[in-house]
Chains A and B, each alone.
Chain A
Amino acid sequence: MIEIKNLHATVDGKEILKGVDLTIRPGEVHAIMGPNGAGKSTMSYVLAGRDGYEVTEGSVTYYGKDLLALEPEERAAEGVFLAFQYPVEIPGVANTTFLKTAANAIRKHRGEKELDAMQFLKLLREKTKALNMTDDMLKRAVNVGFSGGEKKRNETLQMAVLEPKFAILDETDSGLDIDALKIVAEGVNALRSPERSMLVITHYQRLLDYIVPDYVHVLSAGRIVKSGGKELALELEKNGYRDFGASEAA
């Protein structure tokens, strides 16, 4: 279980999160919606532990542990996964090498035996099939020259390989056409399980047609201002975020 309590965070001295409360139980999918500048991406970075995102107040308890006390790689090893809005390119590092390095780092942390090249390749083949990814994409350097859709599929593949307990999907729909969106959403849905919880961050309701959440929260000006079931997303689609105090220009 993940319990976020009264979370305040600043970036460059400016307070972005102003007291977020959220509880996510195993297996649940929560969506966070909100206007630009509401603090959605800040929330994902704070949970993942990025430098420069300073927590000034509040706590995040992750399966009994103080998540905020852990280094980013320790959080990853504990099962926190962030699917990036803008996946990063790493020239010269083959996608397979990257994934294997990550998978084995996490396995090592968990006290599991590291996979050798053959075992890993087998695992990877299984996971790629489901995502309609080609071998070519595995051989290419991490995200280098990937289209928007390929990058997001690659994020989903990483999630499938690393099998997190808590996945944060940051604007996974941005830059995707409808076909690419469907493929990614199918990949994500295939990973839904009673043990795995997800936090889906999105500006638009469109993604939630495909990844149907259990709960929807509206984040505005650094606070969750409304929570509800999946129907809340439809309401937002119709009325926009104006009711929640966001200016259109934001």
Chain B
Amino acid sequence: MAAQPETVEQVRAVTEQKYKYGFTTDIESDVAPKGLNEDIVRFISAKKNEPEWLLDWRLKAFRVWQTMEEPQWAAVSFPPIDYQDAHYYAAPKKKDGPKSLDEVDPELLATYAKLGIPLREQEILAGVEGSEGKSPAIAVDAVFDSVSVATTFKAKLEEMGIIFCAISEAVQKHPDLVKKYLGSVVPYTDNFYATLNCAVFTDGSFVYIPKGVRCPMELSTYFRINQANTGQFERTLIIADAGSYVSYLEGCTAPQRDENQLHAAVVELVAMDDATIKYSTVQNWYPGNAEGVGGIYNFVTKRGACRGRNSKISWTQVETGSAITWKYPSCILQGDNSVGEFYSVAITNNFQQADTGTKMIHIGKNTRSTIVSKGISAGKAQQTYRGLVKILPKAEGARNHTQCDSLLIGDQCGAHTVPYIESRNRSARVEHEATTAKISEDQLFYCRQRGIAEEDAVSLIVNGFCKEVLKELPMEFAVEAQKLVGISLEGSVG
């Protein structure tokens, strides 16, 4: 169900605070030595007790990665990253993986509670008395630094044949599925950051929805970087078999640190005939301080393959965090009549940089794609929408509509739109609309004359500007996203 942006009370409640997820958790961690080499790749694989084929795959990726160079085409700038100066594995110390939530370190659970993640919903899962009759809304997989620490509602989902677990667990329990689909959308040779991820990914979520099953609840993963000098390289793989439906949510936070931390995730989605995957992200990694010190480098590869006829993949993202965002959730529309959607809100303030957009690759007949991108830039931030719409010769009757709107706050920020369109089929129709606007002094004065304080007015106006995208978010995330819009633009006026 889509939510109506009912913004301002919530926004007001939180606008006083700065980055509220900036705490660290004091927890004993198992950390790999700094540096990156084949031994580290073997170390990670061994820690995860992985089968030979997976280690081989990682090593192949690592060897390719060594020959690759960082992409330079994005409109972002940062000092060179020393890939040898980071830890590639950090895990909360535990003898064995937790069997149930009761075995999870209470410090960790407290951290997630602080983040507002309802892990404790396992009480309902466990059938605690009085919990019946109220059907759960979200199942959560929590990833702390590199390791999945808890997955809720597993048993209930299993009854329906749905697999929702840590990808490391899926490697052990469902190796055939993982082997078949891992790297099938984003190959290990894909790009510098994705290839690095293939070599050193530590955990992430795995979802399989069997034929004809409509997943009854939102599946959600919360990612948290805690350890200093750690990269987070999670890997998510979602497979929706024929006629199935799943809505998946992803949220991210990290402590406030002065050094930059690298986050290079890969997400692969596969939708078979008549299947639908809805993937929503609220990305709130630490953006650095107001002077541009610290923050997460969010270099992420997300791609979905609409393999089957009439399949649909819909990406919705609200990107407010990170010092630098480099991210292009894409759809490969292979099946006839398949549909790809990309709804994005990206907010950059202070010294944040974002180069984000999507790729829609039309291969099948009558494939359709919709792109709605809302970029808001404030402070000294720079933001670029970069999108590719590619219609291949066999994509008879393909359609695309792209709408890119930018909103500027102040006069020191920038917004750029770089659409690439390649059509090789005469029957295809591709439309691109773009606007750039500033929050007008008229609008601000009008709001203030009605009693709304300036920052709340900005939040209200920006939420209005983003409404088309925010309404695509599941209810559980919409409220949080609206709050974030307010928080991330703090201090941008006046």
Contact = CB atoms under 8 A, between A and B. Distances in A.
Name the residue among B445, B454, B463 with the largest chain A CB count within 10 angstroms: B445
Nearest to A89: B443
B442 A88 contact: yes
Closest 9 CB pairs of A and B: A92-B464, A93-B464, A76-B451, A102-B450, A92-B467, A88-B446, A72-B448, A106-B451, A101-B8
Interface of B: 4-9, 440-443, 445-454, 456, 460-461, 463-468
Given A76-B450, A106-B451, A92 B466 contact: yes
B445 A105 contact: no
Contacts of B5: 97
Interface residues of A, number: 35
A93 B456 contact: no
27 contacts: A48-B445, A49-B449, A72-B448, A73-B448, A73-B454, A76-B449, A76-B451, A84-B449, A90-B443, A90-B446, A90-B461, A92-B463, A94-B4, A97-B6, A97-B7, A98-B450, A101-B456, A101-B460, A102-B447, A102-B451, A102-B452, A103-B451, A104-B8, A105-B451, A105-B452, A162-B450, A162-B451
Contact of A73 (B8, B452, B466): B452
Name the residue among B440, B461, B468 with the largest chain A CB count within 10 angstroms: B461
A214 to B, nearest CB: 25
A51 interface: yes
Contacts of A150: none
Contacts, number: 89
Contacts of A89: 443
Contacts of A49: 448-449
Given A71-B448, A91-B465, 10 more contacts: A49-B448, A90-B443, A92-B466, A92-B467, A92-B468, A98-B450, A98-B460, A101-B8, A102-B447, A105-B450
A210 B5 CA distance: 39
A109 interface: yes
A65 to B, nearest CB: 16
B464 A72 contact: no
A94 B8 CA distance: 12
A157 B375 CA distance: 33
A103 B445 CA distance: 16
Interface string A122-140: 0000000000000000000
Contacts of A118: none
B7 A104 contact: no
A202 interface: no
A114 B6 CA distance: 14
A49 B448 CA distance: 10
A91 B451 contact: no
Interface in A45-90: 48-51, 71-73, 75-77, 81-82, 84, 87-90
Contacts of B451: 73, 76-77, 102-103, 105-106, 109, 162
Nearest to B446: A88
Name the residue among B7, B453, B461, B463 with the largest chain A CB count within 10 angstroms: B453
Nearest to A93: B464
Contacts of B454: 73
Contact of B445 (A51, A81, A98, A101): A51
A75 B453 CA distance: 11
Nearest to B470: A92
